C-alpha cells in the first residue's frame, strides 16, 4: 500500500506534464525553511520558461505544513505535495525520495533539502545548456557555517568520520555531491534510484567510481555556474556520520558494481549512436 496521497490545490487538477527538471524536497516540520527554499527557486527562475516543477514530500503529522498547502495559492500550477505515513522517520527517507521520483514529470530530478536556497538568477535557463545527456550533474554550493562565515564546497574539509582512503580513491572531497541532478532514466535503467536514504552519496559514488578504472566512462559533470546556499551545521556533520555507515556498506557491493555497469553500458551505447534523449530546445 502506498504511504502517501496527493493534495490537489484548490481550483487545480494534477495533469502530468513533461518538464526539464523536477525539484524534489523532503520536509519535516520546517515550514519557514520550506517556503524559503521554494520561493528562492521561483524568484530566481526565468519565468518565461515553464520547464520546472516541485514535488514536496511531508509527514502526516506535520499539521502546520499541511494547513499551509491546503491554502497554497500561487499562479504557478507546477507544484505537487505528497503526505507520507511517517514510516520509520529519517530511516525511511529513501522511501520518501522514491515516492518523489516516481511522481516526478521532469526529465531530470534535483534532490534538495529544505535548509538551502537557490542563488543563481535564471538557473532554469542555464540548466537547458547543461542537461543534455544521461549523466549525473552536481550543482555548486556555498556552505553557511554556524559562525556566519561562508565556505564554498571546494574548500570544505573532509569530515573526520569519512574513510580517507576512499576519498583518495574516488578523487573528490566527499561533500561535493550534496545537490545531484540526475536523469529520471536512471530509474528505468536500474529499477530504483537508491538502496538507502543517502541518495546523494549513492549517486556521487556511482558517478565518480564509474568514471575511473576499469569503466572509465564519463558519467558526471559539475555545474559551477549554478550556486546553491546550504546551512551546514555541526549537527549535520555528526548525524551524517551516523547514517553514513549504512551508505558506506554499499561501496563496492555487488549492487553498486551492477548499477555502474548498467549505467556505463547505457551511456556507451548512447555515445556511439549520438542520440541523446534529453536534448532540450529552449523556448521563448
Averaged pLDDT score across all residues of the chain: 78
Residue 254 has pLDDT above 80, yes or no: yes
How confident is the model at residue 71, as a pLDDT? Answer: 74
Q: 116-145, pLDDT tens digit by residue?
A: 999 999 999 999 999 999 999 999 988 887
C-alpha–C-alpha distance, residues 131 and 108, integer Å: 8
Own/partner long-range contacts of 11-18 (Cβ < 8 Å, ≥24 apart): 12/77, 14/80, 16/105, 17/53, 17/78, 17/105, 18/105, 18/106, 18/107
Q: Indicate whether 93 and 111 sit together in one domain.
A: yes
The reply to whether 266 falls in a domain is yes
Q: Indicate whether 93 and 3 sit together in one domain.
A: yes
Q: Indicate whether 1 and 115 sit together in one domain.
A: yes
The reply to whether 267 falls in a domain is yes
The reply to whether 54 falls in a domain is yes
Q: 80-90, pLDDT tens digit by residue?
A: 888 877 666 55
Which domain, by its residues, includes 83? 1-130
Domain endpoint, select from 64, 96, 130: 130
C-alpha–C-alpha distance, residues 151 and 174, integer Å: 15
Q: Positive or negative CA dihedral for 265, 268, 272, 275?
A: positive
Which CATH number characterizes residue 49's domain? 3.90.550.10
The reply to whether 283 falls in a domain is no
Q: Indicate whether 102 and 28 sit together in one domain.
A: yes
Q: Indicate whether 112 and 141 sit together in one domain.
A: no
Residue 219 has pLDDT above 70, yes or no: yes
Q: 8-24, pLDDT tens digit by residue?
A: 444 444 445 789 999 99
The reply to whether 196 falls in a domain is yes
Q: Indicate whether 164 and 270 sit together in one domain.
A: yes
The reply to whether 116 falls in a domain is yes
pTM for the whole structure? 0.82
Q: Indicate whether 12 and 124 sit together in one domain.
A: yes
Count of domains observed in the chain: 2
E runs forming strands in the chain:
4-7, 19-27, 52-59, 79-84, 106-112, 116-118, 136-144, 150-152, 180-183, 220-231
Q: Indicate whether 274 and 151 sit together in one domain.
A: yes
**Peptide linkage before 214 cis (omega within 30 of 0):** yes
The reply to whether 24 falls in a domain is yes
Q: Indicate whether 219 and 251 sit together in one domain.
A: yes
C-alpha–C-alpha distance, residues 8 and 176, integer Å: 36
The reply to whether 284 falls in a domain is no
Amino acid at each position: 500500500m502506498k504511504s502517501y496521497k496527493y493534495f490537489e490545490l484548490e481550483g487545480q487538477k494534477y495533469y502530468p506534464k513533461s518538464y526539464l527538471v523536477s525539484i524534489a524536497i523532503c520536509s519535516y516540520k520546517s515550514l519557514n525553511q520550506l517556503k524559503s527554499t521554494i520561493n528562492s527557486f521561483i524568484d530566481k527562475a526565468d519565468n518565461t520558461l515553464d520547464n520546472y516543477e516541485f514535488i514536496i514530500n511531508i509527514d502526516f503529522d506535520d499539521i502546520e505544513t499541511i494547513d499551509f498547502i491546503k491554502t497554497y495559492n500561487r499562479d504557478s500550477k507546477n507544484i505537487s505535495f505528497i503526505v507520507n505515513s511517517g514510516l520509520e522517520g529519517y530511516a525511511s527517507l529513501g522511501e520518501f525520495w522514491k515516492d518523489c521520483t516516481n511522481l516526478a514529470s521532469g526529465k531530470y530530478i534535483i534532490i534538495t533539502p529544505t535548509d538551502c536556497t537557490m542563488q543563481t538568477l535564471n538557473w532554469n535557463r542555464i540548466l537547458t545548456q547543461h542537461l543534455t545527456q544521461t549523466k549525473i550533474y552536481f550543482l555548486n554550493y556555498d556552505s553557511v557555517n554556524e559562525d556566519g562565515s561562508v565556505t564554498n564546497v571546494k574548500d570544505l574539509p573532509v569530515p573526520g568520520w569519512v574513510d580517507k582512503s576512499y576519498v583518495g580513491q574516488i578523487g573528490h572531497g566527499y561533500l561535493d555531491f550534496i545537490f545531484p541532478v540526475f536523469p529520471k532514466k536512471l530509474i528505468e535503467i536500474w529499477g530504483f534510484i537508491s538502496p538507502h536514504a543517502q541518495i546523494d552519496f549513492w549517486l556521487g559514488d556511482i558517478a565518480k567510481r564509474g568514471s575511473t578504472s576499469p569503466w572509465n566512462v564519463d558519467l558526471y559533470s559539475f555545474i559551477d555556474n549554478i550556486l546553491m546556499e546550504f546551512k551546514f551545521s555541526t549537527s549535520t556533520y555528526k548525524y551524517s556520520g551516523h547514517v553514513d555507515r549504512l551508505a558506506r556498506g554499499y561501496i563496492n557491493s555487488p549492487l553498486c558494481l551492477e548499477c555502474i555497469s548498467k549505467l556505463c553500458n547505457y551511456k556507451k551505447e548512447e555515445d556511439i549512436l549520438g542520440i541523446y534523449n534529453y536534448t532540450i530546445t529552449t523556448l521563448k
